[in-house]
Amino acid sequence: MNADVEALLIPWLASTLTVRAVTDLPADDPPGSFLAGLPYVQVTRIGGADDDNLSSFDAPTVDVDCYAADRESVSALAARVHDALRVTLPGLTLAGATVTKVQTITGPSWRPYDNTSLRRFGATYRIRIRS
């Protein structure tokens, strides 16, 4: 069975970058609590398939969105996430799964967001995992 890439990345990013990492953004209840919790890193698997049809290899594609109060902070966070994923993560074993390669599909860049009190930068990666 393939490893759950979100379950692998969320605690690793939170620990490595000392940041709140989530799959779903928290509700703003009470109002203002979402902004008080900034910054956030959101990890979402958006596709990918097992590699060479072998059940122990997976190549998920993940979107990683960063949220902060201003453009400078979110850009810096996205760069830290990028470096962690591309430089630090390959070769690590997390929860019994080894990350063999991380490929950038779309590098960190500004992404629009409905809440104008926030700024969002995002990137897309393909992460090769051997379970």
What does 60-113 look like in DSSP terms, one character per residue? EEEEEEEEESSHHHHHHHHHHHHHIIIIISTT-EETTEEEEEEEEEEEEEEE--
pLDDT tens, residue by residue, 86-95: 999 999 999 9
How much is the pTM?
0.91
Positive or negative: CA dihedral 63, 69, 70, 75:
negative
pLDDT tens, residue by residue, 110-124: 999 888 888 999 999
Token duo for residue 112: 């629009």
Averaged pLDDT, 8-28: 94
Averaged pLDDT, 2-18: 94
Which pLDDT belongs to residue 51? Answer: 53
Does residue 21 carry a pLDDT above 80?
yes
Which pLDDT belongs to residue 53? Answer: 58
Does the domain spanning 5-130 belong to CATH 3.40.220.10?
no
